[in-house]
């Protein structure tokens, strides 16, 4: 697939990037990256998860659980594929590969408890989860998946937050200093983003805007690991990152991160994901709405600093925000 700039999309999948994943998860209310300078700082330990546990007190709500297929209630477990690596959505506290924490983890676990279920979680790369739902490998998935018209063709969504697209730069950057409201502001720059994301789709779909404006095209570099994007930013191999609003805010809140959030570009509903036609969606929608009603939802978002992305009610397969 071609990209703006040189017509060749650069896809970087390096094992070395994994060493920098902890940089996305420094202490406090923000995910970090390396410090500014000629070279990135040494990886820092990922933060401990906040001590409060709003999920602990959640109990089964029979009206919601009754919406589950009988065989699911009898089995009592579901398989969930989770993309883990970027706070506040999902990460490993203290840099350990057990167990993951984050907003997405809490929402999914709390909804399962409302339904009287346990989740068998398996870590998976972002771009593999949606196809794996269709193959039956997972019953549901999480990974800050935004609702798009294209995804709605093959995936069912149960929404739980309103996040979306934003941009960030290395602090001190002079090439881009203001909120991005038009992609022509990126002309001549190199943008890093995640593989298989709405960010990649947006940037690729709009690849002609710079030529139309008579400007030098932007280049897109696509990374399989979130940590690799931050490493590239710190090393000056990219000029700007396009990622989730909440993730970039979390990162920029860390002084040691030396990144600056440039604001929101486009909001998207985000949901738990299921294969198309899944019989699980009515029950999970009811479960998320129960969490909203009883206050657990608000406590989870407060815990992770994402309250400004709250929704009033969960929906199944809403239309994509334009």
- Rg of the Cα trace of the chain? 19
* 36 neighbors 86 (Cβ within 8 angstroms): no
DSSP output for 28-46: SSS---PPSSSSPPPPPPP
Give percent of the chain with pLDDT exceeding 70.
Answer: 85
Q: Tell me: the pLDDT tens digits for 231-277?
A: 899 899 999 999 999 999 998 987 777 899 999 999 999 999 999 99
CA dist 35 → 41, 251, 254 (Å): 5, 12, 10
Residue 47: per-residue pLDDT: 63
Q: Residue 307 carries which DSSP code?
A: G
Q: Show the domains of the chain with their CATH numbers.
A: 10-46+165-266 (3.40.190.10), 62-163+269-309 (3.40.190.10)
CA-based end-to-end distance of the chain:
24
- As a whole number of angstroms, the distance between CA 241 and CA 230 comes to 8
Tokens representing residue 18 in the block: 């994994």
Q: Tell me: the pLDDT tens digits for 36-93?
A: 222 333 334 466 778 889 999 999 999 999 999 999 999 999 999 999 978 899 998 8
Q: Tell me: the pLDDT tens digits for 186-243?
A: 999 999 999 889 999 999 999 999 999 999 999 999 998 777 888 899 899 999 999 9
Residue 46: per-residue pLDDT: 61
pTM of the model: 0.82
Q: What is the mean pLDDT of residues 282-290?
A: 98
- As a whole number of angstroms, the distance between CA 38 and CA 40 comes to 7
Residue 94: per-residue pLDDT: 75
DSSP output for 156-196: EEEEEEEEEEEEEEETT--S--S---SGGGGTT-EEEEETT
Q: Residue 137 carries which DSSP code?
A: S
């Amino acid at each position: 697939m071609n990209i703006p700039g040189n017509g060749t999309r650069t896809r970087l999948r390096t094992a070395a990037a994994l060493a920098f994943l902890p940089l996305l998860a420094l202490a406090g209310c923000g995910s970090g990256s390396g410090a500014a300078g000629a070279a990135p700082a040494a990886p820092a330990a990922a933060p401990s998860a906040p001590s409060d546990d709003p999920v602990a007190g959640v109990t089964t709500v029979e009206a919601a659980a009754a919406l589950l297929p009988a065989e699911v209630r009898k089995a009592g477990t579901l398989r969930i594929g989770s993309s883990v690596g970027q706070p506040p959505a999902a990460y490993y506290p203290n840099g350990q590969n057990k167990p993951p924490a984050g907003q997405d983890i809490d929402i999914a676990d709390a909804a399962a408890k409302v339904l009287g279920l346990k989740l068998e979680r398996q870590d998976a790369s972002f771009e593999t989860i949606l196809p794996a739902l269709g193959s039956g490998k997972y019953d549901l998935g999480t990974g800050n998946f935004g609702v798009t018209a294209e995804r709605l063709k093959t995936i069912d969504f149960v929404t739980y937050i309103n996040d979306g697209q934003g941009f960030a730069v290395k602090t001190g950057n002079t090439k881009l200093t203001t909120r991005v409201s038009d992609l022509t502001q990126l002309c001549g720059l190199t943008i890093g983003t995640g593989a298989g994301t709405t960010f990649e789709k947006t940037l690729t779909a709009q690849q002609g805007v710079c030529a139309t404006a008579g400007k030098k095209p932007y280049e897109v570099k696509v990374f399989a690991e979130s940590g690799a994007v931050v490493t590239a930013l710190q090393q000056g191999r990219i000029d700007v990152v396009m990622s989730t609003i909440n993730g970039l805010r979390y990162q920029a809140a860390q002084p040691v991160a030396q990144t600056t959030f440039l604001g929101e570009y486009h909001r998207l509903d985000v949901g738990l994901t299921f294969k198309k036609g899944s019989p699980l969606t009515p029950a999970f929608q009811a479960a998320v709405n129960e969490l909203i009603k009883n206050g657990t939802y608000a406590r989870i978002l407060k815990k992770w600093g994402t309250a400004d992305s709250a929704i009033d009610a969960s929906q199944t397969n809403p239309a994509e925000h334009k």
